[in-house]
């Protein structure tokens, strides 16, 4: 039990650190900036951020949500993304029985991409090719490595099937109804299908369900109109997470009801 607690703390803290990098990606990718240089800086006064002001979550709390140099407010997105990353990493670790299984790194990669893409889509209403183009082959390579580690070629075949199940329908929708669905959504669904396999169908069900309810809620609240474009990436990500953690259980429940 003690080892599990220690390992869980390590995974959670690692998730916080990755979340800090996720914030860099969310800000810089839409701007076409490098992810590696220059060093982290305040978006208001452009001054470089010292390492002790860049500790995930804790620095935000200690600084009371303001830049040390200019005093401007730091977006709440920064600690929320870091905390979400830590909790997702911990949840994946728990799902795998608090052990270092072959699926650990691929699943951590999956939730990291989902977090980055969701934050960018909410902010910019776009899913950048700069994220999706490398992520899809990397995802296939990661699941291929799992298949080799497990000596189970069926894992990779299910990944290929999930890629098709996720990408093809949304790509057709994007071509037929370009104002209703974007190719970025199709690429994201293809990416998640690599990890979910046939459970991508579960992801679709909850993505469209929550997307419909969320869109309706925003229209009723007056924040969107019926003609407004609503980012679908976060709902695809939510559906993928539901399928990742509970896909088999939900699929079995549905089949039992039939």
For 136-187, write each residue's pLDDT tens digit: 999 999 999 999 999 999 999 999 999 999 999 999 988 887 777 789 999 9
What does the pLDDT average to over 49-73? Answer: 86
Terminal-residue alpha carbon distance, the chain: 40
In angstroms, rounded to a whole number, what is the distance separating the alpha carbons of residues 188 and 183? 9
Q: What is the DSSP string of 157-169?
A: HHHHHHHHHHHHH
Angle at 103 between CA 102 and CA 108, to 5 degrees: 125
Q: 243 and 117 in contact (C-beta within 8 Å)?
A: no
Q: What single DSSP character describes residue 41?
A: B
- Distances, alpha carbon 15 to alpha carbons 20, 154, 225, in Å: 9, 30, 37
pLDDT digits (tens, 9 = 90+) for 96-106: 998 889 999 99
Is residue 39 scored above 90 in pLDDT? no
Give which of 119, 92, 125, 103 is closest to 19, Cα–Cα.
Answer: 119
Using a 10 angstrom Cβ sphere, with 0-12 exposed, 13-18 middle and 19 or more buried, the burial of residue 229 is: exposed
What's residue 1's pLDDT?
63
Q: Dig out the tokens for 90 from the structure.
A: 């911990």
Residue with the bigger pLDDT between 195 and 38: it is: 195
Domain range summary for the chain, segments of one domain joined by +: 1-100, 102-258
What's residue 71's pLDDT?
81
């Amino acid at each position: 039990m003690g080892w599990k607690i220690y390992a869980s703390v390590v995974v959670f803290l690692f998730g916080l650190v990755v979340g800090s990098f996720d914030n860099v990606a969310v800000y810089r990718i839409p701007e076409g900036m490098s992810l590696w240089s220059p060093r982290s800086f305040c978006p208001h006064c452009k001054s470089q951020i010292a390492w002790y002001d860049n500790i995930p979550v804790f620095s935000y709390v200690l600084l009371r949500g303001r830049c040390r140099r200019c005093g401007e407010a730091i977006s709440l997105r920064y600690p929320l993304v870091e905390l979400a990353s830590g909790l997702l990493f911990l949840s994946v670790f728990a799902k795998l029985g608090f052990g270092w299984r072959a699926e650990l790194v691929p699943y951590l990669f999956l939730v990291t991409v989902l977090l980055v893409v969701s934050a960018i889509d909410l902010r910019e209403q776009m899913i950048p090719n700069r994220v999706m183009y490398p992520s899809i082959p990397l995802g296939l390579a990661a699941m291929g490595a799992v298949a080799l580690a497990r000596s189970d070629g069926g894992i990779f075949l299910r990944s290929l099937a999930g890629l098709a199940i996720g990408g093809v329908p949304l790509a057709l929708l994007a071509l037929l109804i370009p104002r209703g669905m974007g190719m970025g959504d199709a690429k994201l669904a293809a990416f998640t299908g690599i990890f979910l396999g046939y459970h991508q169908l579960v992801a679709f069900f909850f993505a469209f369900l929550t997307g419909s309810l969320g869109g309706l809620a925003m229209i009723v609240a007056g924040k969107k109109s019926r003609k407004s474009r609503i980012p679908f990436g976060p709902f695809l990500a939510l559906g993928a997470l539901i399928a990742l953690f509970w896909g088999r259980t939900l699929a079995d429940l549905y089949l039992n009801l039939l």
